[in-house]
């Protein structure tokens, strides 16, 4: 049994790496798109096989119950996004915003991004994970700036500088974790491996762990997009190609939050260390309320949904900060549902921006009339992201709110307030964009609706019926998070 997880991990790493090399030399963009989809599909299938391949770990790589969920989610959304991307880029090529040469670069980068995100998730070594997250940052920076307009370059540069400072601080935290572990575990690789760290974390020096977590929280928190460290996020989402916005919101934020969760387990295992919970609760709640208010002032549709991502990452961080089996369960479920829903929304938004020729919301009217399939897709997506039933986000938000009421009622007030304020902004804008008389000058849609509705169907399904097996799995993982 010990070898099977290794071949699975090798699959999710090697397939994207080889595909990236192949895509870099293929000049025809149609073939590029096809290979991109095929490689992403293959990776997703291999990731599914990890569920049955068992768990295990060595010095560098690890598969356990926590990360296998994220690998599966990541590769699945990576696959659907590649399908969306194939139709999206055809339009970008026609309008001349991208050239075939840039597309070649784009496809290779897409697979490198998949590789580095998978590497960050399956890394057993905290240093290797850091290198992988840095690599993912670099590739996304290049993709955000791919349109080479003034705004795109500015967004890429801002993202670059802020994320670099963030990951530099995270590295300092990583070094401190090693310094804390080294007297207990001994020198060398074991002192950087999750498997050995989590087993002996109760023996580490608490003060060092505290300081390390502070750096890690600020560092990786920048990548999660928690306020007030979120400044890069809206720009990067708004100016890059929409498939990248979908991957950023749906996957990369999750990867950074996953890293934080891992370190939180270490702190939770040490009785002398400060509880990481209150810090995460404060940051999460702050992000939620702050982003909810800012939603009202957005005029750009992609920027609008980027702020919504800040809001939802705040909810997840808040839930994990509360801790306990129920809140952790809700947090995990919320991360999953948010990934699926937000990427679906960006699929819709990408096509909407193409048919209307603008990202400004005043230029978009009556979508349900002019493009019914697309418009209703957006409506369902926004209803889901607003946390209304019958979608899965309702379940997770409901669980977060009820567990907060049960344990810390005074925190439930700002939480509920933030959720309601966000809900108001979402419905207000949705009503303006989706209903009413359509503006005249729109193009017919040539959208790939399958990824959009597949995601929404999944979110809907989780809202009305969560299979027992999934619940058990999440409960099992939630118990480990402490």
Where does this chain bind other proteins (CB under 8 A)?
125, 127-128, 130-131, 134-135, 138, 141, 151, 153-154, 157-158, 160-162, 164-165, 168-169, 171-172, 175-176, 178-179, 182-183, 187-189, 191-192, 205, 207-208, 210-211, 231-232, 235, 297-300, 303
DSSP 444: P
Are the beta carbons of 210 and 264 closer than 8 angstroms?
no
Q: How far is the CB of 175 from other proteins (least distance, A)?
A: 5
User: Which H or E element spans position 428?
Assistant: helix 409-434
Taking the least distance from each CB to other proteins, the nearer of 37 and 142 is 142
Closest separation in Å from C-beta 91 to other proteins: 24
Of 38 and 179, which has the nearer Cβ to other proteins? 179
- Is the backbone of residue 188 left (phi > 0), alpha (psi -120 to 50) or beta? left
> In Å, how far are 144, 178, 214, 220, 273 from 171, measured between CA atoms?
24, 11, 12, 10, 20
Q: Which is nearer to other proteins, 275 or 373 (CB)?
A: 275
Nearer to other proteins, 75 or 139 (CB): 139
**Distance of alpha carbon 12 from alpha carbon 473, whole angstroms:** 21
Half-sphere exposure of 297 (CA within 13 A, CB side): 6
Nearer to other proteins, 54 or 272 (CB): 272
- Smallest gap, in angstroms, from Cβ of residue 329 to other proteins? 34
**Residue 255 or 374 with smaller CB distance to other proteins:** 255
Q: Which is nearer to other proteins, 38 or 165 (CB)?
A: 165
User: Which residue, chain included where needed, has tokens 């963030």?
Assistant: 166
Please choose, from the candidates 26, 41, 162, 167, the residue with its C-alpha nearest in 3D space to the C-alpha of residue 106. Answer: 26
Backbone torsion region of residue 36, taken as left when φ is above 0, otherwise alpha when ψ lies between -120 and 50, otherwise beta: alpha
DSSP percent split of the chain into helix, strand, coil, nearest 5:
80, 0, 15
Residue of 444, 291, 462 lying closest to 370 (CA atoms): 444
- Closest approach, Cβ 297 to other proteins, in A, equals 6
The structure tokens listed for 87 are 């139709």
Q: Which is nearer to other proteins, 92 or 134 (CB)?
A: 134
Comparison of 135 and 411: residue with beta carbon closer to other proteins: 135
List the structure tokens of 316: 């997840």
- Among residues 366, 344, 329, the alpha carbon closest in space to that of 441 is found at 366
Cα dihedral 297, 300, 301, 305 sign: negative
Q: How far is the CB of 210 from other proteins (least distance, A)?
A: 8
CA dist., res. 15 & res. 187, Å (int): 33
Compute the least distance from the CB of residue 467 to other proteins, in Å.
40
CB atoms closer than 10 angstroms to residue 6: 15
Least Å from the CB of residue 276 to other proteins = 17
**Nearest-approach distance from CB 236 to other proteins, in angstroms:** 12
User: Which is nearer to other proteins, 127 or 416 (by Cβ)?
Assistant: 127
Q: Using the CB atoms, write b or e for 375-386: b if 16+ within 10 Å.
A: bbbbbbbbbbbb
DSSP class of residue 190 equals G
Q: How far is the CB of 163 from other proteins (least distance, A)?
A: 10
Do residues 329 and 398 make contact, with C-beta atoms less than 8 angstroms apart?
no
Q: Concatenated DSSP letters for 378-397?
A: HHHHHHHHTT-TTSHHHHHH
In the complex, what is the shortest distance from the CB of residue 414 to other proteins, in angstroms, rounded to a whole number? 22
CB nearer to other proteins: give 142 or 333.
142
CB of 235 to other proteins, least distance (A): 8
Q: How far apart are CA 81 and CA 344, in angstroms?
A: 9
Cα 10 from chain centroid? 23
Instruction: Considering the complex, state which of residue 3 and residue 272 has its C-beta at the smaller distance from other proteins.
Output: 272
Rounded to the nearest whole angstrom, what is the least distance from the CB of residue 97 to other proteins in the complex?
18
Cα–Cα distance, 144 to 405 (Å, whole number)? 40
């Amino acid at each position: 049994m010990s070898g099977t997880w290794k071949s699975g991990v090798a699959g999710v790493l090697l397939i994207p790496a080889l595909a990236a090399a192949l895509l870099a030399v293929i000049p025809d963009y149609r073939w590029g798109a096809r290979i991109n989809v095929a490689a992403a599909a293959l990776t997703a299938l291999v990731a599914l096989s990890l569920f049955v391949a068992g768990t295990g770990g060595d010095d560098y790589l690890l598969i356990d119950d926590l990360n296998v969920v994220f690998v599966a989610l990541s590769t699945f959304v990576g696959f659907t996004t590649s399908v969306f991307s194939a139709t999206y880029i055809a339009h970008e090529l026609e309008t001349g915003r991208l050239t075939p040469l840039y597309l070649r670069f784009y496809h290779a980068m897409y697979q490198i991004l998949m590789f580095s995100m998978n590497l960050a998730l399956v890394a057993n070594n905290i240093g290797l994970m850091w290198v992988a997250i840095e690599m993912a940052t670099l590739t996304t920076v290049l993709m955000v700036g791919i349109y080479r307009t003034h705004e795109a370059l500015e967004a890429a540069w801002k993202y670059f500088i802020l994320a670099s400072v963030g990951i530099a601080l995270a590295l300092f935290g990583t070094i401190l974790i090693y310094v804390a572990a080294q007297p207990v575990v001994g020198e060398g690789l074991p002192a950087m491996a999750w498997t050995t760290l989590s087993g002996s974390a109760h023996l580490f020096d608490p003060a060092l762990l505290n300081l390390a977590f502070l750096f890690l929280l600020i560092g990786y928190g920048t990548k999660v997009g928690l306020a007030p460290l979120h400044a890069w996020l809206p720009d990067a989402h708004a100016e890059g190609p929409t498939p990248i916005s979908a991957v950023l919101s749906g996957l990369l934020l999750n990867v950074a939050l996953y890293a934080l969760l891992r370190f939180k387990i270490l702190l939770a295992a040490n009785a002398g260390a400060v509880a990481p919970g209150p810090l995460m609760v404060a940051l999460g709640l702050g992000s939620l309320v702050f982003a909810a208010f800012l939603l009202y002032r957005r005029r750009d549709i992609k920027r609008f949904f980027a702020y919504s991502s800040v809001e939802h990452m705040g909810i997840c961080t808040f839930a994990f900060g509360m801790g306990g089996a129920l809140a952790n369960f809700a947090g995990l479920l919320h991360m999953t549902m948010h990934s699926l829903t937000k990427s679906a929304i960006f699929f819709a938004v990408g096509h909407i921006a193409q048919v209307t020729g603008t990202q400004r919301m005043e230029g978009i009217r009556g979508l349900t009339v002019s493009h019914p399939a697309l418009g209703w897709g957006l409506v369902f997506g926004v209803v889901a992201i607003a946390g209304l039933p019958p979608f899965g986000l309702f379940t997770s938000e409901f669980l977060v709110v009820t567990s907060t009421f049960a344990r810390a009622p005074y925190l439930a007030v700002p939480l509920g307030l933030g959720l309601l304020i966000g809900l108001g902004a979402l419905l207000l804008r949705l009503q303006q964009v989706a209903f009413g008389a359509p503006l005249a000058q729109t193009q017919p849609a040539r959208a790939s609706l399958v990824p959009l509705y597949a995601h929404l169907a999944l979110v809907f399904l989780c809202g009305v019926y969560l299979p027992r097996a999934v619940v058990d799995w999440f409960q099992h993982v939630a118990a480990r998070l402490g």
